Amino acid sequence: MEIGSLAPHILRIDCPDQPGLVHKITGVLYNAGYNVLSNQEFVDLESQHFFMRTALKVQRRRIGWFLTSNRFFRKMPS
């Protein structure tokens, strides 16, 4: 099912903080054909944990392709 005409989707990410996360994540979204409608991010300085909430709209791809094909979003070992 193509979902480009559906309502925006919300992507929530939380992971250990590291330099360049916003760039990496939004780059993956752009390359997969998503349009970022809004984005908020926060780092808990005490725990060095990154949180991000992104509203996005699919422009040209299927959601399953994005979720299964990109190594950046696969679960990393602890």
CATH number of domain containing 61? 3.30.70.260
**Dist CA 3 CA 58 (whole Å):** 6
Entry pTM: 0.67
Residue 17: strand, helix, or coil: coil
Position 2 in a domain: no
pLDDT score recorded for residue 13:
94
Residues pairing with 39 in the sheet? 54
Residue 60 belongs to what domain range?
9-73
pLDDT score recorded for residue 6:
63
Q: Residue 27: enclosing H or E segment and its boundaries? A: helix 21-31
How sure is the predictor about 12, in pLDDT bands with cuts at 50, 70 and 90? very high
pLDDT score recorded for residue 5:
54
Number of domains comprising the chain: 1
Position 52 in a domain: yes
pLDDT digits (tens, 9 = 90+) for 31-73: 888 889 999 999 999 999 999 999 998 776 555 555 555 555 5
Position 44 in a domain: yes
CA 34 to chain centre: 10
